[in-house]
A = this chain, B = another copy of it.
Amino acid sequence: MCPSGETHVDRIFTVLEHDIVSGQLAMGSKLGEELLASRFGVSRGPLREALRRLEGRGLVIRTAHAGVRVVALSRKALLELYEIRELLEGLAARLAARNMSEEEVASLRALLDEDLNSGLRSDAYPLVFGDADFHYRIAEGSKSVRLKQLLCGDLYSLIRLCRFKTAHVPGQMQSFRDHMRIIEAIEDRDEALAEFLMSRHISAARARFLTTPFNEASDAVDSLKEAGFA
């Protein structure tokens, strides 16, 4: 029933995590236990445990006797995430310039060159994925397990959760040029420059986000909180 070690909880956790960070489950959605359990073809027990794991990672919020909902990130929370990510991605770039193997550097360079050829003509969608991949590899290359876990597992997930709404079409070219400069710094093993460029890269993304209208429901959440209802 459980092929090769993977338990039901693991499977459900993975699927739900993906559905949340990919935006298929809207922020604030209620996750009824009975419904989800039947959808996954399991009992409520394993499902609840998977939800508890998501709760521990801050992707869902459970209120006693009321059920669990997908976390609703307010504009303020998003800005906090960007502020943190600005520092941590910078650190990752610095460590990557120090610790990445030559093979990893070459592979990343190849990835960027490929994006340059295929991504320029078309829409922004492949660039979004390319962007995710780029940052993922930097985190990987930092050789810091905890840092990679923080950036890829927690922070980046939550940001991507909202990125799908705020189309960041403007600035995609600038973003790509940032990436090019960053990998040049890494190739030169210039730690300080890599950190600076990456920090500024995130800072620019935050600034771009700051100017977006942000017509989301989370604004309503903010209003409620400010009014003292939550």
- Decide if A160 is an interface residue (CB 8 Å cutoff): no
Tell me how far the C-beta of A130 lies from the nearest C-beta in chain B, rounded to whole angstroms.
26
- Decide if A222 is an interface residue (CB 8 Å cutoff): no
- Provided the pairs A53-B55, A56-B56, A91-B87 are in contact, do residues A80 and B48 lie with their beta carbons within 8 angstroms? no
- Decide if A88 is an interface residue (CB 8 Å cutoff): yes
Per-position binary interface string of chain A over residues 87-107, scored 1 when its CB falls under 8 Å from any chain B CB and 0 otherwise = 110110001000000000000
Contact partners of A146 in chain B: CB under 8 A: 77, 80-81, 84
Q: Which of B65, B83, B87, B88 contacts A144 (CB 8 A)?
A: B83
* A 33-60 contacts with B by CB, 8 A: 45, 48-50, 52-58
Q: Give the number of residues in A that approach B within 8 Å (Cβ atoms).
A: 34
- Decide if A170 is an interface residue (CB 8 Å cutoff): no
- Decide if A223 is an interface residue (CB 8 Å cutoff): no
Q: Are B10 and A150 in contact (CB under 8 A)?
A: no
Q: Which of A1-9, A179-187, A207-215 contacts B (4 or more CB under 8 A)?
A: A1-9
- Provided the pairs A49-B48, A53-B52, A55-B56 are in contact, do residues A147 and B84 lie with their beta carbons within 8 angstroms? yes
Q: How far is the CA of A84 from the CA of B9 in the complex (A)?
A: 30
> What's the number of copies of this chain in the assembled complex?
2
- Decide if A230 is an interface residue (CB 8 Å cutoff): no
Q: How far is the CA of A54 from the CA of B49 in the complex (A)?
A: 11
- Decide if A64 is an interface residue (CB 8 Å cutoff): yes
- Decide if A29 is an interface residue (CB 8 Å cutoff): no
Q: How far is the CA of A96 from the CA of B91 in the complex (A)?
A: 22
- Provided the pairs A56-B53, A56-B56, A87-B87 are in contact, do residues A64 and B6 lie with their beta carbons within 8 angstroms? yes
Contact partners of A65 in chain B: CB under 8 A: 5, 7
- Decide if A149 is an interface residue (CB 8 Å cutoff): yes
Contact partners of A56 in chain B: CB under 8 A: 52-57
